[in-house]
Amino acid sequence: MIVQLKDGSKIEFDNKKSVLDIANGISEGLARMACCALVNGEVVDLRKEIDEDVELSIFTFNDEEGKKAFRHTASHVLAQAVKRLYPNTKLAIGPAIDNGFYYDFDREEAFTEEELNAIEKEMKKIVKEGLEIERFELPRKEAITLMSEMGEDYKVELIKDLPEDSKISFYKQGEFLDLCAGPHLMNTKAVKAFKLLSVAGAYWRGNENNKMLSRIYATAFAKKADQEAYLQMLEEAKKRDHRKLGKELELFALLDEGPGFPFFLPKGSILKNTLVDYWRDVHRKAGYMEISTPIILNKELWLRSGHWAHYKDNMYTTIIDEADFAVKPMNCPGSLLVYKTKQHSYRDLPIRMGELGLVHRHEMSGALHGLMRVRNFTQDDAHIYMLPEQIKDEIKGVIELIDQIYSVFGYKYKMELSTRPENSMGSDEDWDKATTALKEALDEKGLSYVVNEGDGAFYGPKIDFHLEDCLGRTWQCGTIQLDFQMPERFEIDYVGKDGEKHRPVMIHRVAFGSIERFIGILIEHFAGAFPTWISPVQVKILPISEKYHDYAHKVREKLNDANIRVELDERAEKIGYKIREARMERVPYLLVVGQSEEEQGTVSVRSRAKGDEGVSSIDDFVIKIKDEINKKLIIEREVEEN
């Protein structure tokens, strides 16, 4: 048999070999680091035996699939430790996730901090035991019997969802066995660097009508140093948590009266409106027209758009005049109705319509998370209607616009091309055309991207933009979706050169995505220390004593006249205390005024970036800060004052 490796080289064997044997033959180092493999497109264990010609890729922890196998094995170690210590606990599921894994357990009480410590100690014992991990299969009926006898009701439910003729796979390590598709490592000894992080509630199968389970979140790494770096990043992330900073900086509130519906406070509204003003300026220059469409529209519209069939569970509905209506979860149907208000010619196209539309989507209460996951948000939508021959140029234009916006905030980003999902509308031909157009636009721009198979919208393929923040975390924000389906469903058209009516092609796209979520990302990226141009308070004036309040008012008036956002601290507090508080509020510039400043018509400037910048005339300071604001500069911190 011939084994072709991912670098194109080929190895020939006379007898069947396990993947691990093949890895050993290539390099002992590779065999030590190997976690799983890809055989003819299928991810498998290292114990998989090869007896025919195959294409083989061996994954280590440096590969995503390798990380998943490693962390999935760690989740079984966690479950085994829990069953040893608390044998009456029932097992649910324990997948690998980004940066770690979790396992859901059914027990009467949530796990305490002390219990987590005990579980982690038991996990270390299991790792030290170096238990061999074995895989075996059973027919569906026997698998149900086995799990029933073990009292694992959740596993029984999962098996019953599988087809009658399924072969059900299990993994066993020591006395512990679990229903699992795999893949897994060869033994528990490899899982050395792990940490239990937190406990949360989670509904079984994500359904709020089901029982609430206890979910233990954890992480695992192949190297201790990598784990320590990750844990340090988590500590830094806690300091930057947008929910904590949002409250401290008086930006927004999350209240019990509106779970999932954030309240923006005055300073948060300034930040939000500054982003909106910037959005409007960029889009005006790029040839977009702004529209506004209703929040509530009737059921017939949502039936026509396909949302009623594909998205109804996430929509809020109501009855008006004995007819069904829904609060919009998306802006696109309203945009299509705007397009239909007049007849268009091919000469009009492309038509670019932007909308800052408030949308509502029902999220389960357990999924809500500050501004990152909410039930209502402002989507910075735009819809472009174009001729087929304009597709690539318009996609390139959108990519350039989104790049311009992200660059202003200093973000790097990665791109994904997501293809047709199972639950989709439209013909194969339309999907092929749409996917090819997106791919060609990316290729012609010379951009790198990964293909995310089956993750497109139900009406078309898409390009997603994943921002990378200062901690290396990624956030999916911008998206470009090409759509042949909605124009057909809404029967929109244009008059072509031939005088006949034709269907335009449609692009759906966002840059911020959700403005609320983008603000949450900005808060954590900048740790609340926003660039001056978007900072809710750009300058704070600090008079040394009450004697200089009149002069401080004159300084504030000059800054106000220059459209600089300024606050005046007139409290009877010592100047050192005022400075420390203003620094905690992340204000970019502090202006201290006293006797010498009043006599000379100056201000003493202290900046967040450079500390004490000395004395400046008011006019010179205004010129300096206006230049920084107008250029939307991001000034890195140079000193950290004590």
Q: Is the domain of 74 the same as that of 54? A: no
Looking at every residue in the chain, the average pLDDT score rounds to: 93
Q: Within a domain: residue 298?
A: no
Degrees to nearest 5, angle at CA 142 with 140 and 143 = 60
What CATH number corresponds to the domain at position 360? Answer: 3.30.930.10
Share of the chain above pLDDT 90, in %: 81
Q: Is the domain of 570 the same as that of 434? A: no
Of 521 and 368, the one with more pLDDT: 521
pLDDT at 641 over 50: no
Q: Is the domain of 171 the same as that of 134? A: yes
Q: Is the domain of 210 the same as that of 280? A: no
The tally of CA atoms less than 13 A away on the side-chain side of residue 594 is: 9
Of 361, 525, 578, 608, which one is the catalytic site residue? 361
Q: Say which amino acid occupies 280.
A: R
Q: Within a domain: residue 51?
A: yes
Q: Within a domain: residue 307?
A: no
| Per-residue pLDDT, 424 | 82
Q: Say which amino acid occupies 365.
A: S
| Per-residue pLDDT, 483 | 86
Of 462, 565, 606, 608, which one is the catalytic site residue? 462
Is 383 catalytic? The answer is yes
Q: Within a domain: residue 247?
A: no
Q: Within a domain: residue 320?
A: no
What CATH number corresponds to the domain at position 173? Answer: 3.30.980.10
Q: Please give the DSSP secondary-structure letter assigned to residue 504.
A: P
Is 32 catalytic? The answer is no
Q: What is the mean pLDDT of residues 160-172?
A: 93
Q: Is the domain of 491 the same as that of 548? A: no
Last residue of a domain, one of 474, 501, 526: 526
pLDDT at 241 over 90: yes
pLDDT at 87 over 50: yes
Q: Is the domain of 484 the same as that of 579? A: no
Q: What is the mean pLDDT of residues 427-448?
A: 89
Is 283 catalytic? The answer is no
Judged by average pLDDT, the poorest of 88-102, 125-139, 424-438, 487-501 is 424-438
Distance CA 298, CA 318 (A): 9
User: Please, are residues 178 and 171 in contact by the beta-carbon 8 Å criterion?
Assistant: yes
pLDDT band at residue 485 under the 50/70/90 scheme: confident
Of 173, 379, 481, 538, which one is the catalytic site residue? 379
Q: How many domains does the chain have?
A: 4
What's the pLDDT tens digit per position in 25-50?
888 899 999 999 999 988 999 999 98
- Report the 3 state secondary structure along 261-284: CCEECHHHHHHHHHHHHHHHHHHH
Of 35, 36, 180, 332, which one is the catalytic site residue? 332
Q: Is the domain of 221 the same as that of 261? A: no
Exposed/middle/buried for 476, CB within 10 Å: 0-12, 13-18, 19+?
middle
Distance CA 596, CA 602 (A): 8
What CATH number corresponds to the domain at position 545? Answer: 3.40.50.800
Of 104, 178, 380, 381, which one is the catalytic site residue? 381
Q: Within a domain: residue 277?
A: yes
Q: Is the domain of 25 the same as that of 96? A: no
What's the pLDDT tens digit per position in 567-591?
999 999 999 999 999 999 999 999 9
Chain centroid, CA 80 distance in Å: 31
Judged by average pLDDT, the poorest of 12-16, 59-63, 168-172, 267-271 is 12-16
Distance CA 166, CA 161 (A): 10
| Per-residue pLDDT, 640 | 45
Q: Is the domain of 140 the same as that of 195? A: yes
Domain extent for 48 = 2-60
**What is the signed CA dihedral for 263, 266, 271, 273, rounded to 10 degrees?**
90
Last residue of a domain, one of 502, 526, 550: 526
User: Please, are residues 327 and 318 in contact by the beta-carbon 8 Å criterion?
Assistant: yes
**What is the signed CA dihedral for 557, 561, 562, 565, rounded to 10 degrees?**
60
Q: Is the domain of 456 the same as that of 603? A: no
Last residue of a domain, one of 60, 83, 108: 60
Q: What is the mean pLDDT of residues 54-62?
A: 92
What CATH number corresponds to the domain at position 9? Answer: 3.10.20.30
Q: Within a domain: residue 309?
A: no
Is 379 catalytic? The answer is yes
Instruction: Give just the sign of the alpha carbon dihedral 536, 540, 546, 550.
Output: negative
Of 508, 565, 586, 608, which one is the catalytic site residue? 508
| Per-residue pLDDT, 637 | 59
pLDDT at 456 over 90: no
pLDDT band at residue 642 under the 50/70/90 scheme: very low
pLDDT at 98 over 80: yes
Q: Is the domain of 285 the same as that of 182? A: no
Is 508 catalytic? The answer is yes
Q: Other C-beta atoms within 10 Å of 218: how many?
A: 24
What's the pLDDT tens digit per position in 501-556?
999 999 999 999 999 999 999 999 999 999 999 999 999 999 999 999 999 999 99
Is 390 catalytic? The answer is no
The answer to pTM > 0.85 is no
Q: Biggest alpha carbon distance in the chain?
A: 95
Q: Is the domain of 384 the same as that of 256? A: yes
Indicate the SS3 state at residue 474.
strand
Both tokens of 3, joined, read: 């084994």
Degrees to nearest 5, angle at CA 451 with 449 and 457 = 115
pLDDT band at residue 99 under the 50/70/90 scheme: confident
Distance CA 507, CA 478 (A): 13
Is 361 catalytic? The answer is yes
pLDDT at 638 over 70: no
Q: Within a domain: residue 239?
A: no
What's the pLDDT tens digit per position in 385-426?
999 889 999 999 999 999 999 999 999 999 999 999 887 877
Q: What is the mean pLDDT of residues 63-85?
A: 97
